[in-house]
Amino acid sequence: MAKQTIRDLDFNGKKALVRVDFNVPQTKGGDVSDDRRIRAALPTLTHILDHGGALILVSHLGRPTGDPAADAPFKMDRVAARLSELIGRPVQKADDTVGPDAQAKCAALKQGEVVVLENVRFNTGEKKGDPDFARQLAGLADCYVNDAFGTCHRDEASMVAVPEQYPAESRAIGFLVEKELTILDQLLGKPKPPMVAVMGGAKVSDKIGVIESLLKKVDRLLIGGAMTYTFLKAQGHEIGKSRCEHDRLDVARKLLELGGDKIVLPQDHLVTTSIDPKEAKTSVVEGPDLPADQIGIDIGPKTAARYAEIIKGAGTVVWNGPMGKFEDEPFRQGTLTVAQAMASSPAVTAVGGGETAEAVEQFGLAEKVSHVSTGGGAFLEALEGKAFNSLGVIPDRG
């Protein structure tokens, strides 16, 4: 059942509290280094403003500790400044979330104006789902919009307790969340066959549930990244100095048994003597066994070509996790080859947030795939079929 969206709400003369996901990557100095999540929210924000509303935006940023000095880079000032540049109008910034400055700025807010509240995780009530904090936050606006897919798997106050403060007819999802749910419906419902999943990244343990779930649906599951070496070790192969979850070998064996010939492991590997790209001496190793002094750092060229060919013949492809340490030029070819195959494929192609989204963005291919999720953890949990309380509090469309 489709959820109530911002198309169903009347914003004229009203203040909308919009939970956005502006948890953007930052430089060491605190500047916004990647504004993709801010840009992704613009259609929702523009719609509300164009329909006579005013915006009160709430988001978290980073992982505050409670130490004012250490948390200074996580203030929302530079995010608000970047939003102002992107949306083309002034954006106010409140110095607190539910305190005197936020209350004053929100009370004075006029039609067409925008205020960004201070980092919601500066308040201990956010993580605890505190009802008093939720009431104060909800009291700033007339209606609530969830456009923070990357946080939908969290039961924090701004995601669940705050929308519960409003009448059902005053709660909705934004266009970003709607788009995420639409692609997930395609992936979990009746995906166009054959369906291929590409799974990479460091840990098998992070993706046990989603791999189990996907194995029921996919025709092929292509494995890359450091998790490769946990699977190979579980099969009894030598993995050199490669990263391995030795406490998850039994899990890897069970997944291999469950997947059978659906699971495709690399047939060659880029190996290195050092993960430092300046010191690295790379070579390609054929077969499943690695020399004792080498580190597996990327899928090899034969594997990359094979994966590209499988993707080329797919009807649906979902990808989460890079094939290697793509951040460094010597180790990125496997991830780049998969990204290029996704971009040129006629299939429905979904990239599952996190590092994978960063990779396709870095390679300039984000616009050439069907969908790039803004939520890594949320995307994976949704693929497992988990229900989110943050969406449960938003009414279904009648």
Query: What amino acid positions are annotated as catalytic residues?
Result: 37, 203, 354, 377
- Residue 102 makes CB contacts below 8 A (sequence gap 6+) with 94, 95, 96, 115, 117, 118, 140
37 has binding-site annotation: yes
Measure the CA–CA gap between 357 and 372, rounded to whole angstroms.
6
Q: Does the annotation list 327 as a binding residue?
A: yes
The closest of 208, 200, 307, 215 to 260, measured between CA atoms, is: 215
- Dihedral (Cα; 48, 49, 53, 54), 10-degree rounding: 110
125 is in an annotated binding site: no
The answer to the question of whether 287 is labelled as a binding residue is no
Which amino acid is present at 177?
A: V
**63 among annotated binding-site residues:** yes
Q: Is 355 annotated as a binding residue?
A: yes
| Residue 119 counted as an annotated binding residue | no
Q: Is 29 annotated as a binding residue?
A: no
Is 139 annotated to bind a ligand? Reply is no
Q: Is 51 among the annotated ligand-binding positions?
A: no
82 is an annotated ligand-binding site residue = no
Q: Is 23 annotated as a binding residue?
A: yes
Q: Which residues on adjacent β-strands are paired with residue 15? A: 54
Could you tell me if 321 and 200 are in contact, meaning their C-beta atoms sit under 8 angstroms apart? yes
Q: Detail the residues annotated as belonging to a binding site for substrate.
A: 21-23, 37, 60-63, 121, 154
Q: Detail the residues annotated as belonging to a binding site for (2R)-3-phosphoglycerate.
A: 37, 121, 154
Q: Detail the residues annotated as belonging to a binding site for ATP.
A: 207, 296, 327, 353-356
